[in-house]
A and B are shown apart, each in its own frame.
Chain A
Amino acid sequence: MKQVNRLDDGGRINRQTPLNFTFNDKTYQGFEGDTLASALLANGVDVVGRSFKYSRPRGVITADAQEPNAIFQVGSNDASTIPNPRATQTELYANLVCSSTNGWPNVDFDLMGTVGKVGGSAMPPGFYYKTFMFPQSMWMSYEKMIRKGAGLGCSPLQPDPDSYDKLNHHCDVMVVGAGPAGLSAALAAARAGARVIIADEQNEMGGSLLCSTELIDETAAAVWLVSTLTELAENDNVLLLPRSTAFGYYDQNYIGINERRSDHIGETNSNGTRQRLHKVRAKQVILATGAHERPLVFGNNDVPGCMLASAVTTYINRYAVVPGNRLALMTTNDNAYKAAIAWHDAGKSVVLIADTRPSADGFLVKEAMKRGIKVEFGHGIIDVKGSKRVKSVEVAPLSADGKSVSGQAVSYTCDTVASSGGWSPVLHLSSHTGSKPIWRDDIQGFVPGKTEQAQHICGGIQGVYDLSQVLEDGIKCGLAAAGDAGKNVSSLELLAPTVTKNIETPAMALFHIPHFKPTSRAPKQFVDYQNDVTAAGIELANREGFESIEHVKRYTALGFGTDQGKLGNINGMAITANSLGKTIPETGTTIFRPMYTPVTFGALSGSDVKQLFDPARFTAMHSWHVDNGAEFEDVGQWKRPWYYPKPGETMEQALARECLATRNSVGLLDASTLGKIDIQGKDAREFLNRVYTNPWSQLAVGKCRYGVMCKEDGMVFDDGVTACINDNRFQMTTTTGGAAGVLNWLELWHQTEWPELEVYFSTVTDHWSTMTISGPNSRKVLEKLTDADVSNEAFPYMGWIAAEVAGVKARIFRISFTGELSFEINVQANFGLHCWEAVVAAGQEFDITPYGTETMHILRAEKGFIIVGQDTDGSVTPQDLDMNWVVGKKKAFSYLGKRSWTREDNERTDRKQFVGLKPKDPKVVLPEGAQIVFDKDQPIPMTMVGHVTSSYYSACLGYSFALAVVKGGLERKGQSVFVPLADGTTIEAEICSSVFYDPKGDRQNV
């Protein structure tokens, strides 16, 4: 297919490399260097999508990030597809496949179009709120309909095959935008010796210079561009980031940049990073983001063929595409004349320039007139005819203030309408950090306001548009930033290159072109194309009392599309201001939040996906667990053996086998994940007294003690066994999940409240591998591995010894979490696997059985031992747990948590208390987390009096049992409670002691 609108020469495209692509199932050809938008325009494609509310056909309107219409679904399959990239910013690659996002079912015939035409007046702004909020029960189905109609694209259904990553940077000067301002600034800062990063969202750096016909130092701008880029590229202190969008500006000069590294090559890049997120901490930031042109608001200004004047210039000069044959231009300023001049010079016809100003005689105006182009001053285009393409325009004289039509309209036949209402500085990034933009009448635009950041601005972002001034501004700004970053710039003299300064006639402040009819009855004048917000809609909102621009936006949805109102917000404010008789700054300001343009989830996740999503922590014995068929459970980040099924065994069978083996012979548990803290110093004991609820003054060397920690509110938050190594040294054990938190807790109190106590804490969690042998035969196993005397007499319960086990130095703790005779062997972790294997070998004759966390949970629950975080939830005191025995009554220091136990609420007798539950049916296992009621016949909502915290079937006991918290439960032993289930049935259970097995504790003492 021929590229009907492509010029034979010129532009920055490579005609030697044609690229085929598919849009809405039709194949076209473009060239390397094209964007998707320029390629479609080259092929004469007018309609690229349908509008959301009215389903009107829409065409490409911009050549930049503002684009509201050419929003596509790009990608050939369910894995590669990307919703909503802007065609104006999507580089063309070979065999690109894309389709319209909001055309449903297709752009040329649209079901919604019928609704839209009929429903136009039935769908005024506020339509969601008014129509769809009531009845509320219908909202869900309305929402579905809106979403379908809105067509905001499809998410990929298959996993993304590409990789993404992130890179951190630090620099002296971060320059955002590589137009003439940014490049001069970067050059100046680099010459001052600063570490510079310069990022630009386009594939080529240069910004406006890429389509400029101006001369710099008497040669083409492109020559200056090449020499500048070369100098920057050759400087080791400079990083150039093209195809990189600075999407967010965060506190203290932190910039987020998304670099598209391979999107322009093709769909998948198996050999590298598709997109890279750069996180830049800069000493100084220079925003050289330029300005976006504003369209004018006039009747039927959304008909395909209506474009921004600067977009027309860009397509002609940069892409060698003239997107039509007959152009009508409407402008409030000189700059837009460039579009007509370029159009004319490309050999096409300019039917008219309607200049809203009474007169103008600037350089560009004269250039246009020199070419014989017809210019009508004091005129505006008040209406456009055509549906899928502009057919003609109505041009009428305007009053001097531009607010009314002052004479008859004349019709001009044309296929393209370019308009320009002036320029809006791209201040989005400055706004991200909370800086409020301020309005400047002289440039008719908002500029960045006061900021807390080390931020500099130059060029278009502060309303400096003349190229010679822009280049000068950039150099000044670059030097200032380098100086503020600590570089010596006093000796550096840099001169801006020379550019002829052209005479310009001042622009007219005009946003909304009037019609003969009042706005409410005039042809639709679009402000926000993506959300179909019209001038009439905004005025209606104003009449209904929405006066603040923030309210107007929410009522009309102005600025709420994927384009975030880049194109329409200022025009919307101007219309509001006009209809309320206020100035633009009086109606409010414009606030932008990150992201500047959408960033893919892939880029935001970077490499932190799949197995790198969350670190997995392993013990030294992990490979053994894997080799021996363990199923694993996540405990925090740890992978812990859950149970070890034998071939053909169900989980229940495996658990029964593991439990019985431990109770009857000997079991083996990897307990390495428990937190371990080495506490040293002469005040270690006193410190323990203050953080644990029980007393530590009497704990002898060689002994261990169980302790409970509470927060200051009196609630249990960790527990574990601490051993006295010597008078100045203790080893504390914490829960697996609590390890980091407890160490932090100890440091907090030591560093902030009790620095006078001489004590140090060091984590030794990872240093020790811990294996617990538990069961009546555990001593026999241990005896085979050590020469130490481990008899009950020499090594009684709650003691510890240092001994050699399997040839390795070990600390053995005689503590028990199963209620059986147990030894916890700790060895330096590099010997962990060795020692474990030795234990397994020694235990073979006793059929030693490795068990996992689930069996551990069952065995401890049979003994009524709590697991903090499972049986407690931060609202449970030691008293609630019936653990008064762990509460020190006579300790001198008012230890953490103690005072809170006498707070009124904590002394209530009907608090939820920790008890055992025995289901009436011994085979029924209560669901963990299930609510408990006293009266099973009470109608819903029932009074809930507690919940099940742990629940198991016990192979050792031969019945099911549970642990629970129940209101006043300790006084209710023997009574029945009920557990109502979701299916309407109820399970009855009896409240009992939380200790089900060996209540006297004889078995662990043998």
Chain B
Amino acid sequence: MSDLVKVESPLQHADFAALSALTTEGGVVLREDALLGHVNLRGNAQDPEFVAGVAKALGLALPLAPCSSAQNDDTTIMWLSPDEWIILVEGGKEEATEASLRANLTGHFAVSDISGGQTILELSGDDCIKVLQKSTGYDVHLDNFPIGKVVGTTFAKSSAHIRRTGEQSFQLVIRRSFSDYIWLWLQQSSKEYGLRIAL
């Protein structure tokens, strides 16, 4: 595509670049991991050929346990359901990822590029757990929600897939059309702790 093509993440209008310069303090840190490649994968986890084909295509084994995820340097796979995963790759690599999956898979499967349909928010900071407690009824205690776990759940009046990436850091996979609502929600629910935007 031409360099003249303008590309905008769902939260472009929030202007995180400008906001990040405003505050350096805050119990909650928010960053948009914008414009990644998002690929939705469906297939039969009981089919060894499917599982092997995915591993070959991505160089990363498909997480099969409920609510688990897998990650290497350039790919993250999140379990969404027994036959559905989301694959995150560097922005622009979604087409190659889709092509590689199609080349390595046989039988019944489905691959959809949904890179335009969602974005990733990274929530961290000392008080991010409190913000999550305001946002979802899921138990975010480390005992129940260890690092690497991913859950699809309600998020305020929207929904999200939440993946724990550290003791106090989480990835939220959210839908494009709800992203402004979730941005407003996060501002409101982190107000008492202070919100810092990171780049």
Contacts and interface: CB of A to CB of B under 8 A. Distances in A.
Given A168-B137, A766-B175, A615 B157 contact: yes
A834 B181 contact: no
Nearest to B34: A830
Interface of B: 1-2, 4-10, 13, 35, 40, 42, 83-84, 108-118, 130, 133-134, 136-139, 141, 144, 156-158, 175-178, 180-181, 184-185, 188-189, 191-192
B138 to A, nearest CB: 8
B136 A620 contact: no
A828 B115 contact: yes
Contacts of B130: 167
Contacts of A830: 7-10, 35, 115-116
Contacts of A681: 108, 110
Interface residues of A, number: 53
26 contacts: A163-B191, A167-B130, A168-B134, A170-B141, A272-B192, A616-B180, A616-B181, A619-B177, A620-B8, A680-B109, A680-B111, A681-B108, A682-B108, A762-B40, A766-B116, A767-B112, A828-B113, A828-B115, A829-B116, A830-B9, A830-B10, A830-B35, A830-B116, A832-B8, A833-B8, A834-B5
Contacts of A163: 188, 191
A760 B185 contact: no
A169 to B, nearest CB: 7
Interface in A608-651: 608, 611-612, 614-620, 622-623, 638
Contacts of A168: 133-134, 136-138
Interface string A757-770: 01010111111110
A281 interface: yes
A165 interface: yes
Interface of A: 163, 165-170, 195, 272-273, 279, 281, 607-608, 611-612, 614-620, 622-623, 638, 678, 680-682, 758, 760, 762-769, 806-809, 827-834, 837
A769 B116 CA distance: 8
A762 B80 CA distance: 12
B158 A615 contact: yes
Given A195-B141, A766-B116, A768-B116, A620 B176 contact: yes
A607 B42 contact: no
Contact of B192 (A273, A682, A763, A837): A273
A766 B117 contact: yes
B189 A165 contact: yes
A831 B13 CA distance: 14
Q: Which 9 A/B pairs are nearest by Cβ-Cβ distance? A: A829-B116, A767-B117, A766-B117, A680-B110, A615-B181, A170-B139, A760-B110, A617-B177, A828-B116
Contacts of B4: 807
Contacts, number: 140
Contacts of A165: 134, 189
A834 B6 contact: yes
Given A168-B136, A608-B156, A766-B177, 8 more contacts: A272-B192, A607-B156, A612-B181, A620-B176, A682-B108, A762-B114, A767-B117, A828-B116
Contact of A808 (B1, B10, B118): B1
Given A168-B137, A607-B189, A807 B5 contact: yes
A762 B116 contact: no
B144 A170 contact: yes
Given A167-B134, A168-B136, A766 B112 contact: no
A612 B183 CA distance: 10
Nearest to A826: B116
Nearest to B177: A617
A808 B5 contact: yes
A169 B133 contact: yes
Contacts of A806: 5
A618 B177 CA distance: 5
Contact of A615 (B84, B116, B178): B178
A831 B112 contact: no
A680 B191 CA distance: 44
A166 B13 contact: no
